[in-house]
Amino acid sequence: MATLYTHQTENTAKTWVLMSVFLAVVVAVGWAISWYLNNPGILVIAVILAIGMNIGSYWFSDKLVIAMARATPADGPQYIALNRIVENLSITAGLPKPRVYIINDPQPNAFATGRNASHAALAVTTGLLGMMDSNELQGVIAHELSHIGNRDMVVSTVAVVLVGIVTLVADIFLRTSFFGRGNNDERGNPIMAAIAIVFIILAPILATLIQLAISRKREFLADASGALLTRYPEGLASALQKIGQYQLPMRGASNATAHLYISNPFGARASTSFLTKLFSTHPPIADRIKALVGDR
């Protein structure tokens, strides 16, 4: 019989399988470009540039994301209960208490960010505070603390770096091949050249799909870890039910930070079609609730 522990183990394994496939795609793209252009120097420069930009954004992720969300510190007396919940659950999880922020937005949502547990920040919307009871709020906070404890930001950053590398080198390849094919005329294999071109063009799309799949698996894992932390999966399931019923997007919703939130900040209007699931940063709410409490 499947349990929350089963989901946690399965999703951890699936995430690292996806990361392995991701790395294979990067290596394949590098080989294809090097083979086609017969110029590995371009690839090396592109990889260094992509890693530098993404690691820099990762190092300052907490400050950047908090600024983008227009979040303010939860320092007022009206947030004493919120800070107490965060502190108690942090102690239970064996984590230092993250900095707590408030986003002035009616949509119920929350996110955690930061390069590690010592530099973590957690933000919740005013809509979430106004809509959730104590058990539901604890479920949401536990979910976000699980992202911190599971070091999801590291996985997400690696995924972003790999997407950046694939996209950048593919773009360089297309620009280079448009103006000149380098020394490829000497390669003498038009079929292989055609395969390399098609693969390089499609690689950024494949890389993005893998990144989105990793994001969805991390949400399932954080749900399971959060439920284990509170020992009350019904609280998080009820919170997700309420969040899923809210239709309007956040005022400051951004594609750059959408994957960080507990629910898609663009609202719950999207359908659950195959294509929507494929290109979504979050698994459907109904699937997450079913994983937590089954078909109740």
pLDDT per residue over 179-222, tens digit each? 555 444 445 567 766 766 776 777 778 777 877 877 888 899 89
- Would the pLDDT of 130 be above 80? yes
- Would the pLDDT of 2 be above 50? no
Instruction: Write the Ramachandran bin of 151: left for phi over 0, alpha for psi from -120 to 50, otherwise beta.
Output: left
- Would the pLDDT of 158 be above 70? no
Whole-number pLDDT of residue 186 = 46
C-alpha to C-alpha distances, 24 to 27, 44, 56, 72, 216, nearest whole angstrom: 5, 17, 24, 41, 20
Active-site annotation holds for 144 = yes
Whole-number pLDDT of residue 196 = 67
Whole-number pLDDT of residue 137 = 97
Strand pairing class (72-73; 121-125): unpaired
Task: Flag whether the pTM goes above 0.85.
Answer: no
| Closest alpha carbon to 166 in 294, 51, 10, 287 | 51
Instruction: Give me the catalytic one of 10, 144, 186, 219.
Output: 144
- Would the pLDDT of 118 be above 70? yes
For CA atoms 178, 182, 188, 193, the dihedral sign is negative
Distance between CA 37 and CA 197 in Å, rounded?
11
More confident position, 190 or 138: 138
Task: Tell me which of 58-67, 94-103, 189-198, 211-220 is least confident.
Answer: 189-198
Q: How many domains does the chain have?
A: 1
Q: Could you tell me the pLDDT band of residue 254, with boundaries at 50, 70 and 90?
A: confident
Q: Could you tell me the pLDDT band of residue 18, with boundaries at 50, 70 and 90?
A: low
Amino acid 55 reads I
Distance between CA 188 and CA 51 in Å, rounded?
33
What's the mean pLDDT when you consider all of the chain?
Answer: 79
Residue-number span of the structural domain to which 232 is assigned: 1-296
Distance between CA 138 and CA 90 in Å, rounded?
11
Whole-number pLDDT of residue 63 = 83
Average pLDDT value for residue range 133-146? 96
DSSP helix/strand/coil, 268: coil
